[in-house]
Amino acid sequence: MHKDLRIIRDLAKKYAEIANKDIQEERRELWRDHNSLIRTRPLVYVRWFLAREEVITPQLECEDPFFRRHEGALRFWIFHDSIEDDYIIEPWITQWATYRVSRYTLWGPKIGRIPSPEPYGTWMFDPPLKCLEDFSLLVEPHHVIDEEATARDVSRLQDAVGDIIEVNMSRGPMYGTNLAMYLSDLRGLEQMMWDMSDNPEWLHGLMSFLSDGVLRTHDEAEAAGDWHLSNGSNQAMCYSRELPDPQANGSSVNRDQLWGYCNAQELTVVSPRMHDEFMLSYQLPIMEKFGLVAYGCCEDLTQKIDILRKWPNLRRISVTPFADVRRCAEQIQQDYVIGWRPNPAEMVCSGFDPDRIRKVIGDGVEAMKGCHFDICLKDVETVEHQPQRLRDWVQIAREVVDEHA
């Protein structure tokens, strides 16, 4: 344990030094303007770097699982600083509350998994709602925190590094806004789409149950004072001129002081009309409670920009590798921020071709000229054990942006 504490404390000191660099406040100013539709240079950043098995895991030394998780997070952000992108590294370390439910039992019945017969093969979801009558298996969700376990974990982290860096306790609700993921988990992706045609009234009932359930847990968390300024989410940086900055701990806030985020990746191939009918109409009551909203993850929204415009607090729209960048830009114009995500596979995951990177990013920047946009390298599954690619990509992306400005 003494070894674990020494490791965590040494890392926390390095992290605190990075989080308090002047560059972090410069980045905050850029994001405040950018997300408020005030013209800045296009921001470039890396998000959801998933190649941790290559870069981070081999460095882990802590034996206690609790400290090992935080060691991984600290090493990751220390590594991220070396990329020198526009991501903000905040001056706190977060300990999430412990909840009474797990990811796979949020709605009562357990989301099953069918393992692969092959070593290292992929598993399949085994959705529990196999027939319409299985609706009765669902349980109304509530915002319930295991206070004893939460206090214990916060105390452990506070004792370990609280004199070095602020420990932020996040008590936001376990139930997120991703209704499409909940639906596909419970019913199965293919069956979900069949239901839109074969069982539309039943599906509407299920969507109402899910939407009402998420909204209930969010209302309960707000009544309990468990929403704080660190609980916003927009798949970028939660800064703007209209909303308060993210902050560790502090007093509770209402959702209208926070960024909200949702998507519907699972409905990528569903028509705009059905997307609106079976998803957006149920997401809207949840998202209208937030101050500003971002929409989209990896789905192609080229045909769906118009239906998103009904959201009065929408501010950011993702444009993915599968979308038509030019058509999206023509529809979005300067009304929203475009969060553009070039394909990580042809950026850094499968070889590293600077000329190809320049071509792809140059074409994208030209297509979005006149728009408010940022460039995000997202879902990086591998860098083929060459992490320097990330820093090189950031440098190339900035050079291309400057050339096309």
The 8-class DSSP code of residue 387 comes to T
* 293-299 mean pLDDT: 96
Distances from the Cα of 107 to the Cα of 140, 180, 262, 350, angstroms: 7, 14, 19, 39
**Lookup result for tokens 């798949």:** 235
Residue-wise pLDDT for 384-400, tens only, equals: 999 999 999 999 999 99
For Cα atoms 243, 220, 183, give the angle at the middle one, nearest 5 degrees.
90
Residue 142 has a pLDDT of: 95
State if pTM tops 0.85.
yes
Residue-wise pLDDT for 82-119, tens only, equals: 999 999 999 999 999 999 888 888 999 998 888 888 88
The mean predicted confidence, pLDDT, of the chain is: 95
Residue 1 has a pLDDT of: 62
For Cα atoms 184, 219, 187, give the angle at the middle one, nearest 5 degrees.
10
**Lookup result for tokens 């004792």:** 159
Closest residue by Cα to residue 193 from 279, 303, 128, 296 = 279
What is the domain partition of the chain in residue ranges? 2-404
Residue 52 has a pLDDT of: 86
Please give the structure tokens belonging to residue 60.
Answer: 């882990």
Give the chain's length. 405
Distances from the Cα of 276 to the Cα of 34, 273, 279, 307, 363, angstroms: 28, 5, 6, 7, 31
Residue-wise pLDDT for 136-178, tens only, equals: 999 999 999 999 999 999 999 999 999 999 999 999 999 989 9
Residue 266 has a pLDDT of: 95
Inform me whether the pLDDT recorded for 348 exceeds 80.
Answer: yes
182, containing H or E segment? helix 179-187
Angle of helix 65-81 versus helix 2-19 axis, rounded to 10: 30
Q: What is the per-residue burial (b if ≥16 Cβ within 10 Å, else e) of 75-90?
A: bbbbbbbebebbbbbb
124: Cα within 13 Å, side-chain hemisphere: 11
Neighbours of 38 (CB within 10 A): 12
Residue-wise pLDDT for 24-64, tens only, equals: 999 999 999 999 999 999 999 999 777 888 999 999 999 99
Fold type of domain 2-404: TIM Barrel (3.20.20)
Phi and psi based region of residue 337 (left: phi greater than 0; alpha: psi -120 to 50; beta: remaining): beta
Inform me whether the pLDDT recorded for 272 exceeds 70.
Answer: yes
Longest dimension (CA), the chain: 61
How large is the C-alpha radius of gyration of the chain? 22
Inform me whether the pLDDT recorded for 70 exceeds 70.
Answer: yes
25, containing H or E segment? helix 22-34
